[in-house]
Structure 1
Amino acid sequence: MQTLLYLIETYPAVLALAIFCARIVDVTFGTIRILVGFRGYRLLAALIGFCEAAIWIIAASKVIGHVDHWYLVIAYAAGYATGNYVGITLERRLGVGRELARIISYCASCNLAEALTRRGYSVVELAGRHRGAASVQVLYVVDRRRRMPELLRLVHELDPAAIYTITDVKSCHGEDVHALDAGAAPGIALRSKRK
């Protein structure tokens, strides 16, 4: 460990690289912490925050201790910028949490609700109306974020003209919508199949 510290202090390029890498890691942690915290994972966010703060203190102290070396400031700022990019990319790939897809289909023959249910999605279907269209299917599907691209590909295959919006779900109680079966309002059809 002493040898590593000696190398970092003696060779400015190694110190700059170490600061750059430390900033990438701590900003990546910070970005992920904010995004998972927003989705309600408080304990995970706290643990990530601890690691983020420890790494930041080490990186910042090295820059502040050598603030007259401009290349360390550049390495610090470049690590920060890169960490934002890496953090957002990594969080997307992890796909933590759930999302709500609202799907509107004007194609009666497509019957999206039936098709999605057959493929294992829990679908809430509302009957709707729109000027110029006899009937409109309005669907709600809550699922894991990492399954959303698959769902949207399927919707596009079945009905290329379908309109959809995606919203993050901060909190989701239960895996399914079976609790609504008994008290569903008129005009609401629930289609559900356990995954």
Structure 2
Amino acid sequence: MGGGIILVLELLFIFFARIIDVSLGTIRMIFVIRGDKWPAAAVGFIEILVYTLALALVVGALGDPIKLIVFSIGFSLGVVVGVVIEERLALGYRGLQVTIDKEHGYITDELREEGFPVTCWEGRGKAGEKLVMNIIVKRNLAPFVAEKVYEKAPSAFVVFMEPKQFRGGYFKK
């Protein structure tokens, strides 16, 4: 009876440890991509500590397929949880390059009136004169800005970009 409880506890530990360490790995990679080396190192320390503890329970039991399956399922769910956490944290900034028909140029002024930084230039597409807007906002504001554009210009072409570094300019706080 006691051995069964210990096995269940080990399986639960392996499962949740993998979810935690893989989620932390996702966050660590975001810090690395952004160039935040010290936060990445701190998260990486905890990530590898949790991973090593979980791995220790599996390496000694490679002949136990249940532990291997639980280890792998924990990894898979950790990927999902890591992405959800990353989306909620919305760290950093997102660039939007928005191409609209020139007749919708008033959108530029409306966005600026709301405090969004907009740089624009004229272009020419297959279907005529265009206006291209470059907008850098906090990540959590990017979907809001895109939706505002789509409400007024449903045929807008919006590209979301991940700026790694930038300097100067104006940003909505």
User: Considering the TM-score relative to the shorter chain, is it more than 0.5?
Assistant: yes
How many residue pairs get matched? 172
Unaligned runs of 5+ in 1: 1-6, 178-193
Residue in 1 aligned with 2:50? 55
For residues 77 and 125 of structure 2, the distance between their equivalents in structure 1, rounded to whole angstroms, comes to 47
Partner of 2:143: 149
Amino acid at match of 1:26: D
What aligned pairs does 1:73-152 form with structure 2 within 5 A after superposition? Answer: 73-133=68-128, 135-152=129-146
Unpaired runs of at least 5, structure 2? none
Structure 1 residues 15 and 132: alpha-carbon distance in aligned structure 2, compared to 1, 3 A threshold: closer
Residues 110, 158 of structure 1: 8 Å contact kept: no
Aligned equivalent of 1:166, options 152, 160, 167: 160
User: TM-score normalized by structure 2?
Assistant: 0.91
**Dislocated runs of 4+, deviation >3 Å:** 7-10
Deviation per CA, 1:104-126: give whole Å up to 9, x if none.
Answer: 11141452210110111000010
- Name the amino acid aligned to 1:146: N
Q: How big is each residue's C-alpha offset from its partner over 1:23-51, in whole Å with a ceiling of 9 and x where there is no partner?
A: 00001101111122112221111111000
Q: Which amino acid aligns with 2:170?
A: D
In the TM superposition, what whole-angstrom CA distance separates every residue of 1:81-118 from its partner, at most 9, and x where no partner exists? 11011111211111111111001111414522101101
Q: Rg: which structure is higher?
A: 1
* Corresponding position: 1:39 with 2:44: no
Q: With structure 1 as the length reference, what TM-score do the two structures score?
A: 0.81
What is the CA–CA distance in structure 2 between the aligned matches of 1:37 and 1:71, rounded to whole Å? 34
Q: How does 1:65-80 map to 2 (within 5 A)?
A: 65-80=60-75
Q: How far did residue 11 of structure 1 move?
A: 2.0
Alignment-mate amino acid for residue 97 of structure 2: R
Q: What is the CA–CA distance in structure 2 between the aligned matches of 1:102 and 1:136, rounded to whole Å?
A: 12
Change (3 A) 1:106 1:58: same
